[in-house]
Amino acid sequence: MKQRDKQDMKKIKNILSDEINNTNNEFDILFLVDATGSMSQYIIAAKEETKNISKELKKLYPEKMFQYGYIFYRDPIDSKSDTHEVIDLTDNVNSFPEKIGLISASGGGDEPEDWVGAYKLANEKISWRNGIKVIIHLADAGAHGKLFTKYDKYPEEENKLIYELERCAEKGIKIFGYVIDYYAQNSFNECSKIYRRKGGSFEILKFQNIPMESMPMQMMPPTQMMPPIQMHPSQMMSQMQMMQAPPAMYNQSQMVVNMNFQKNAIQSIQSIMDKH
């Protein structure tokens, strides 16, 4: 059989697989999050917003049985002390604040990070079910390998990533790559090309850091619905203690990341459901 015929057959199988999955109410969502030094706000967002994402998706799609998981990856390729952290798929979203609360942004020697390790874990350490499978990948830095980051010093990582991506495509995993910084753009572009050649779905989007004032009121936490008031720090602390809200909720930059972490995740899932 010619190579092009094999590729066409693969695409047909994936389409048929999607149709089968459409009759299956299982829906698995895995977040791949760069956990190196520059990504602390996104780790906090994961901790604080997973329950909200779950609540909103359950309201939108009550028939679906959602599970959520996380891979927080760093760069042991360049920094041997770096480690990855895995939270396997579960429907117990109440456990996420505690589990993710123990994780902090750290490591990352050179600019590229260990995408190979992240996707290898997604293939080998995640308990995927038979329904719809989704990876939401957030990155502000690219992957090792010169195809992905032109000046990288670990060219052997290139074929490793291609292999892991192909394994994901064979599983029928749909991927959404969210570009947080332009350093990740080329890696996402090349990964998408590889993935689509295998008949997979790999969408690239920009992480939408939408200003708080442009958000609908129902998406804002109660503390943000008040008109902004200039306060002395001591007054602010008094307000926080009175309302028993964590100080992070008063950090507008963090709140923007939180709200958009939720918004982007829900929109990704909606885009899949709209096709079924």
Per-residue pLDDT band at 194 (split at 50, 70, 90): very high
Tokens 């995740």 -> residue: 265
Q: Give me the torsion for CA of 86, 105, 73, 210, rounded to 10°.
A: 100
Fold of the 3-273 domain: Rossmann fold (3.40.50)
Predicted confidence at residue 139, as pLDDT, reads 98
Question: What span, in angstroms and rounded, lies between the C-alpha atoms of 244 and 239?
Answer: 8
- For β-strands 85-90 and 26-34, DSSP reports them as unpaired
The yes-or-no verdict on residue 219 having pLDDT over 90 is no
Question: What span, in angstroms and rounded, lies between the C-alpha atoms of 258 and 215?
Answer: 12
Question: What span, in angstroms and rounded, lies between the C-alpha atoms of 181 and 132?
Answer: 28
1-5, 48-52, 138-142, range with the lowest pLDDT? 1-5
Mean of pLDDT values over 190-210: 92
Query: Which two structure tokens, joined as six digits, stand for 26?
Result: 């299982």
Domain ranges of the chain: 3-273
* φ/ψ (deg, to 5) at 91: -95, 0
pLDDT tens figures, 158-179: 999 999 999 999 999 999 999 9
3-12, 180-189, 198-207, 229-238, range with the lowest pLDDT? 229-238
DSSP 217: G
pLDDT tens figures, 238-249: 334 333 445 545
Query: Which two structure tokens, joined as six digits, stand for 17?
Result: 């697989």
Strands, E assignment, the chain: 26-34, 65-73, 85-90, 132-139, 174-179, 202-206
Question: What span, in angstroms and rounded, lies between the C-alpha atoms of 125 and 71?
Answer: 10
Mean of pLDDT values over 225-245: 36
Buried b (16+ CB within 10 A) or exposed e, 98-132: ebbeebebbbbbbbbbbbbbbbbbbbeebebeebb
Question: What span, in angstroms and rounded, lies between the C-alpha atoms of 260 and 233?
Answer: 27
Query: Which two structure tokens, joined as six digits, stand for 42?
Result: 């996104």
pLDDT tens figures, 17-72: 454 445 589 999 999 999 999 999 999 999 999 999 999 999 999 999 999 999 99
Contact 115, 187 (CB under 8 A): yes
Predicted confidence at residue 163, as pLDDT, reads 98
